[in-house]
């Protein structure tokens, strides 16, 4: 179940919180000191004991949130309880129940308050990550401390620029306002400490020395905990990059005393990697003779045990929700189930290359939860990059292959950029090529991942020029940032308001040399590779809808007419913009394209609200918790005795 600890829940509603909270006045959170969680008598409700209390129940697929407000003057949030704890957000259905508590209920309130704050921290599973969207950052390059010189960071110099865990924490609004629900940060472990190398300094965090120690360049343990707490307060998940395949050296005969693993038997003997031989990829050293990366022997029982203990402690100490695993294919595959089981959280690995058959073996119980979708990335470049082959069939073929070979496409990582690849804008000069590719990543199967700066049209080539500082952009609200925000808003809305969009498998409806259309959970997305210039081209999409069916493109807010044979005609006389068609019956209450926000929750009779709220307690786990709390509450109040 994990370690027991107090956790603060968020006091401000995130974008995907129940709308009823958004209508309330500003709220202040009663935040008891976490060190007091074992003493329920310290959780006094003063000055709220003489007032009426407001209880809000909200639920989502087995998770329950209980929020208690004071009704004095204006609603004041006293505490929040979520079961399971990992389900902080989102919610697909919200119902509210109002109870007036008298003074006799205060004892029960205090009991539940202390019980729920001192809960077991449950791991975030792959299925919970399915609904997330991820913003990836290199800690050193995301934000500067106040007063630092913003002109001093040249990525070509390959040295530190000054970003820290604290500066990331202080600038999370930029990520959350774009609708992201998870943050992926670069490795946190201690790196090489020594003279500058032929390839600069370890500003990126991937040159590991002692994996069990934190990188002091980025802050202290308290700083990392504060970042984790703030990310969770906002309802987001924290993903941390980890490196276990290798350490870093400046010599082919390193001094092992400076590393966590100090015995020669805990490393493979030096040999240069032959990338055409998978055994060589697993046992030989990455890097070169200038900066070799000694390969850790992950078949050694001592290494396995040490890594398992470390990752378990890391996850628990900093409340980490997921791990991105560097160089996953360079480690023997049977190591990963042991490592990921010890971590107890979602694991997504880097399996670099476009061989989908090879990549697919790294997903499943024999390895890990998911991988980054490099084969799909390659197909996206082939399909959309301008200039480029504009091979749309490569994308449709990869979709079909992915369905056949991967065990669960919905938890794979979709991306267009990262720290090891050229920026999209370096490959493709056309903005619509980016937007169409982004639409695929957000609206198809998988978890969308955006590498920091993609929304600012950064154009760096390979390492190190693709690791630019973000602050020279002034965090501008660019058109791509706005487009990304709309995609996130739409995806979060569909997750929260429909029963099947997230878990439905995409099905290709139409494919041509210039476009592709697919349906997922009743939503049809159409992309094209023609670019921004207007073209006398159209795509006929054969839909399951009947003639006259009401549907709207949420990106342009245009209505589309469904023809007599269920066909929708998409024309590109104004350029190659992506189209996302959603039935108007789904769009009501979305706030998209002038579809009004639902106010019916406030108009329902109380009996209906109670009934709707209780629907969410019918899952077995939630029911057990409610029964236990109810019985213990009665015992506490003296209604029953044991």
Q: How confident is the model at residue 635 (pLDDT cuts 50, 70, 90)?
A: low
pLDDT above 50: residue 292: yes
Query: Catalytic positions, please?
Result: 326, 350
Question: Is 288 or 120 the better-scoring residue by pLDDT?
Answer: 288
Q: What is the rounded average pLDDT of the residues 516-525?
A: 98
Domain with CATH 2.60.40.1180 in the chain: 507-590
pLDDT in tens, 302-342: 999 999 999 999 999 999 999 999 999 999 999 999 999 99
For helices 374-384 and 431-443, angle between their N-to-C axes, nearest 10 degrees: 140
pLDDT above 90: residue 595: no
Structure tokens at 107: 């004892």
Q: What is the rounded average pLDDT of the residues 99-120?
A: 42
Measured CA to CA, the distance from residue 354 to residue 352 in angstroms comes to: 7
Q: How confident is the model at residue 589 (pLDDT cuts 50, 70, 90)?
A: confident
Domain with CATH 3.20.20.80 in the chain: 126-248+296-497
Cβ-proximal residues to 492 (8 Å cutoff; 6+ apart), any chain: 15, 16, 90, 133, 179, 181
Question: For the structural domain made of 126-248+296-497, what CATH number should be given?
Answer: 3.20.20.80
Query: Which range, of 61-75, 211-225, 260-274, 275-289, averages the lowest pLDDT?
Result: 61-75
pLDDT in tens, 168-190: 999 999 999 999 999 999 999 99
pLDDT in tens, 431-455: 999 999 999 999 999 999 999 999 9
pLDDT above 70: residue 20: no
Q: How confident is the model at residue 40 (pLDDT cuts 50, 70, 90)?
A: very low
pLDDT in tens, 370-386: 999 999 999 999 999 99
Could you please state the CATH topology (level 3) that the domain comprising 507-590 is classified under.
Immunoglobulin-like (2.60.40)
pLDDT in tens, 129-142: 999 999 999 999 99
Measured CA to CA, the distance from residue 288 to residue 467 in angstroms comes to: 21
pLDDT above 80: residue 387: yes
The pLDDT assigned to 45 comes to: 29
Q: How confident is the model at residue 594 (pLDDT cuts 50, 70, 90)?
A: confident
pLDDT above 50: residue 265: yes
> CA quadruple 377, 382, 387, 392: dihedral positive or negative?
negative
pLDDT above 90: residue 483: yes
Cβ-proximal residues to 314 (8 Å cutoff; 6+ apart), any chain: 188, 240, 242, 320, 343
Q: What is the model's pTM?
A: 0.79
Residue 229's H or E segment, with its range, is: helix 221-233
Q: What is the rounded average pLDDT of the residues 15-42?
A: 32
């Amino acid at each position: 179940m994990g370690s027991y600890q107090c956790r603060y829940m968020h006091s401000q509603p995130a974008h995907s919180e129940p709308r009823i909270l958004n209508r309330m006045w500003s709220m202040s959170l009663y935040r008891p000191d976490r060190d007091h969680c074992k003493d329920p008598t310290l959780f006094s409700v003063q000055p709220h004991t003489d007032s009426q209390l407001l209880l809000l129940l909200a639920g989502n697929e087995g998770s329950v949130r209980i929020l208690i407000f004071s009704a004095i003057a204006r609603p004041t949030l006293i505490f929040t309880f979520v079961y399971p704890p990992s389900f902080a957000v989102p919610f697909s259905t919200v119902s509210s129940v109002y109870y007036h508590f008298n003074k006799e209920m205060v004892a029960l309130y205090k009991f539940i308050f202390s019980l729920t704050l001192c809960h077991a921290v449950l791991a975030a599973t792959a299925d919970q990550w399915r609904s997330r969207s991820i913003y990836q950052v290199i800690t050193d390059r995301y934000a500067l401390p106040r007063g630092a010189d913003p002109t001093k960071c040249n990525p070509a110099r390959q040295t530190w620029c000054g970003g820290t865990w604290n500066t990331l924490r202080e600038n999370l609004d930029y990520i959350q306002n774009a609708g992201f629900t998870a943050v992926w940060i670069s490795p946190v472990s201690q790196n090489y400490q020594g003279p500058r190398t032929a390839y600069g300094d370890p500003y990126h965090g991937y040159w590991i020395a002692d994996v069990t120690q934190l990188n002091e360049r980025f802050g202290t343990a308290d700083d990392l905990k504060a970042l984790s707490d703030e990310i969770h307060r906002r309802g987001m998940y924290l993903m941390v990059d980890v490196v276990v395949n290798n350490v870093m050296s400046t010599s082919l005969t390193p001094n092992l005393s400076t590393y966590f693993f100090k015995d020669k038997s805990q490393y493979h003997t030096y040999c240069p990697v032959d990338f055409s031989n998978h055994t060589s990829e697993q046992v030989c050293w990455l890097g070169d003779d200038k900066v070799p990366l000694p390969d850790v022997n992950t078949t050694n029982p001592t290494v396995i045990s040490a890594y398992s203990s470390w990752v378990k402690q890391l996850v628990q100490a900093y409340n980490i929700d997921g791990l991105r695993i560097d160089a996953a294919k360079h480690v023997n595959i049977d190591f990963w189930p042991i490592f990921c089981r010890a971590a107890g959280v979602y694991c997504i690995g880097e399996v670099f290359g476009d061989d989908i058959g090879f990549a697919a073996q790294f997903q499943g119980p024999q390895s890990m939860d998911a991988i980054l979708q490099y084969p799909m990335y390659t197909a996206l470049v082939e399909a959309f990059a301008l200039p480029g082959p504009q091979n749309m069939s490569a994308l449709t073929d990869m979709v079909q292959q992915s369905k056949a070979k991967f065990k669960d496409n919905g938890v794979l990582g979709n991306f267009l950029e990262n720290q090891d690849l050229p920026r999209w804008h370096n490959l493709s000069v056309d903005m619509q090529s980016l937007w169409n590719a982004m639409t695929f990543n957000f609206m198809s199967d998988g978890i969308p991942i955006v590498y920091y700066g993609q929304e600012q049209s950064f154009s760096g080539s390979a390492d190190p020029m693709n690791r630019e500082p973000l602050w020279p952009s002034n965090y501008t609200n660019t058109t791509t940032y706005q487009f990304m925000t709309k995609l996130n808003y739409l995806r979060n809305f569909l997750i929260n308001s429909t029963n099947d969009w997230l878990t439905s498998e995409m099905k290709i409806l139409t494919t041509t040399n210039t476009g592709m259309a697919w349906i997922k959970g009743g939503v049809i997305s159409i992309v094209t590779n023609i670019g921004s210039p207007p073209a006398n081209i159209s795509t006929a999409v054969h839909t399951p809808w009947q003639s006259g069916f009401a549907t709207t493109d949420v990106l342009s807010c245009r209505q589309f007419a469904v023809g007599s044979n269920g066909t929708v005609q998409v024309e590109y006389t104004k350029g190659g913009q992506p189209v996302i068609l959603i039935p108007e019956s789904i769009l009501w209450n979305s706030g998209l394209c002038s579809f009004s926000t639902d106010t019916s929750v406030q108009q329902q009779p109380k009996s209906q609200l109670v009934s709707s709220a209780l629907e969410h307690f019918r899952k077995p786990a939630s029911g057990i918790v409610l029964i236990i709390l109810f019985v213990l509450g009665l015992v506490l109040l003296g209604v029953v005795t044991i």
